[in-house]
Structure 1
Amino acid sequence: MTPSVASIQRHPLKAHGREALSAVTLVPGRGLPWDRHWAVAHEAAKLTEGEWGPCANFSIGSKAPKLTAIDARLDEATGTLTLHHPDAAEIVFRPDDAEDAARFLDWVGPLCPPERARPARIYSVADRGMTDTDYPSISLISLASNRALGEYMGLDLSPLRWRANFWIEGSRPFEERGWIGRRLRLGTAVIEVVEPQVRCLATTANPATGARDADTLKALRALHDDQDFGVYAKVIEAGTVSAGDVVELLP
């Protein structure tokens, strides 16, 4: 089976919802457009204004598992974001608008554990998503690897647990572990795989409910003696990627 792009996902507000796309245009030196464009800085954040910041500064699913059940929809033309959670009413707001951002903080507060640092403000940097890497990256997972891990655990694992940009179908289970340092063609774009994704507690939460219900980290350690699942990559050559496009491992 020839590997292909099964799904394209972006997360406009880091850790606060995912959105499926039919196609995307990638540009060298950039991440997925609008992916992690905004992030929610908590009250203990130590950020340098105008610069990328590591995930420890933000409200994320490893600390607030209920956030993993949010769905998102972004209107790029107006910068309007719609979020839905099974335990909260839908909210429509513009993250760059101060009054709207305040409404969002009121909305998201009950979804965050009271003993954790509270969400304080929405943070963004021009032309730079708040990726988990200190360089602009995109992320990939293998659906075969997801199924294999689920079979080992005796569970039907949703690929949404991994918050990846591209879901690849048709590769061998855990084949992507050998892609580090290699280049792939996705549609007409070329990417270079840089490093594995080391996973955190966010992946133990069910993306339908936000409840922690599967010890993915223990299972990964049992299978591979690490907590790696999926890979980070850099965009090397510009191009368009659509769902269903062929994925080619380049020499």
Structure 2
Amino acid sequence: MTARLAQIARYPIKGIGTEPLETVILDQDAPMPGDRAWALRHETAPEELGWLPRKNFLVVASGPALAPVRARTETDGRIALSHPDRPDIAIAPSSDGPALIDWVRPLWPDTAPAPRLLVPAPPQGMGDNGRAELSILSLASLRALEERIGQPLQIARFRGNLILDGLAPWAEFDWIGQRLRIGDVELEITERITRCRATEASPETGQRDAEPVRALHTGWGHRDFGVYARVTKGGMIATGNEVTPI
């Protein structure tokens, strides 16, 4: 079976909202455009701008009710957000941080540090590893994990950028240090992604209803799901593109 790009997604505000895409243009040594371009810092985070670890921001690992947020980037640059328990909102990130804070506050635990400031990401984006990379996930590996855990999961729990289908389970781990071609784009696979409690939250309900990290550890002796990749040749990709090792 030929491996193909099944889904594309980005997360305009780190931890707050999933935006599916059909096509995107990627640049060499850059994150996906609009992916984690903003992050909502909480009150105990350092004041300086630039990349910071995820513990300084509102993220699903600490606030599972954020998991069902859906995002859409409008043509005027505003980010439209929706959630089953909140009214729809569209914000201009550079000026509407207070409106976002008011909107997200009911979804954030009272016991956690309060949201304070919406900040722009540095050029490399605000991904968890601090580098200008994308994350790649495999639906075959998800199916293996579902079999181990004994319940259906959603790939959205893992907040990946490029979702592939047609691989053998865990084949992506063998690609470390190798390159792939997807559409016009070439990528170098850099490392595996170690997972956290964010994966416990259902992207439909916002409830913690599964323990994927525990299942990974008991089943395979690690906590890894997916791989990071660096764009070595820019271009356009689209869902349905063939995935070819090179």
Q: Report TM bin, short chain.
A: over 0.9
Question: What is the alpha-carbon distance in structure 1 between the residues aligned to residue 32 and residue 105 of structure 2?
Answer: 28
* CA RMSD between the two structures: 1.0
Matched residues, number: 246
Secondary structure at the residue paired with 1:69? coil
Match of 1:60 in 2: 59
C-alpha displacement at 1:128, in angstroms?
3.4
C-alpha displacement at 1:199, in angstroms?
0.3
Match of 1:88 in 2: 86
C-alpha displacement at 1:87, in angstroms?
1.2
Match of 2:116 in 1: 120
C-alpha displacement at 1:47, in angstroms?
4.7
Q: Which runs of 4+ in 1 moved over 4 A?
A: none
Q: Which AA in structure 2 matches 1:3?
A: A
Question: What is the alpha-carbon distance in structure 1 between the residues aligned to residue 80 and residue 236 of structure 2?
Answer: 25
Question: What is the alpha-carbon distance in structure 1 between the residues aligned to residue 139 and residue 190 of structure 2?
Answer: 19
Match of 1:42 in 2: 42
Match of 1:105 in 2: 101
Question: What is the alpha-carbon distance in structure 2 between the residues aligned to residue 120 and residue 58 of structure 1?
Answer: 9
Q: Is the 8 A contact 1:8 1:243 kept in 2?
A: yes
Question: What is the alpha-carbon distance in structure 1 between the residues aligned to residue 245 and residue 104 of structure 2?
Answer: 41
Match of 2:17 in 1: 17
Match of 1:212 in 2: 208
Q: Is the 8 A contact 2:16 2:67 kept in 1?
A: yes
Match of 2:129 among 105, 125, 133: 133
Change (3 A) 1:59 1:173: same
Secondary structure at the residue paired with 2:13? coil
Match of 1:195 among 191, 195, 205: 191
**Which consecutive residues of structure 2, in runs of 5 or more, have no partner in the other structure?**
none
**Which consecutive residues of structure 1, in runs of 5 or more, have no partner in the other structure?**
none
1:127-161 superposed Cα distances (whole Å, 9 cap, x missing partner):
33211112111000000100111111111111100
Q: TM-score, normalised by structure 1?
A: 0.95
Q: Is the 8 A contact 1:47 1:57 kept in 2?
A: no
C-alpha displacement at 1:126, in angstroms?
5.2
1:109-139 superposed Cα distances (whole Å, 9 cap, x missing partner):
1101111111111011353321111211100
Q: Is the 8 A contact 2:36 2:121 kept in 1?
A: no
Match of 1:223 in 2: 219
Q: Is the 8 A contact 2:188 2:229 kept in 1?
A: yes
Question: What is the alpha-carbon distance in structure 2 between the residues aligned to residue 52 and residue 235 of structure 1?
Answer: 20
Q: Which AA in structure 2 matches 1:199?
A: R
Q: Which AA in structure 2 matches 1:242?
A: A
Q: Which AA in structure 2 matches 1:27?
A: D
Secondary structure at the residue paired with 2:203? coil
Question: What is the alpha-carbon distance in structure 2 between the residues aligned to residue 233 and residue 71 of structure 1?
Answer: 24
C-alpha displacement at 1:93, in angstroms?
1.2
Q: Which AA in structure 1 matches 2:85?
A: D
Q: Is the 8 A contact 2:125 2:131 kept in 1?
A: no
Q: How does 1:145-164 map to 2 (within 5 A)?
A: 145-164=141-160
Q: Is the 8 A contact 2:124 2:131 kept in 1?
A: no
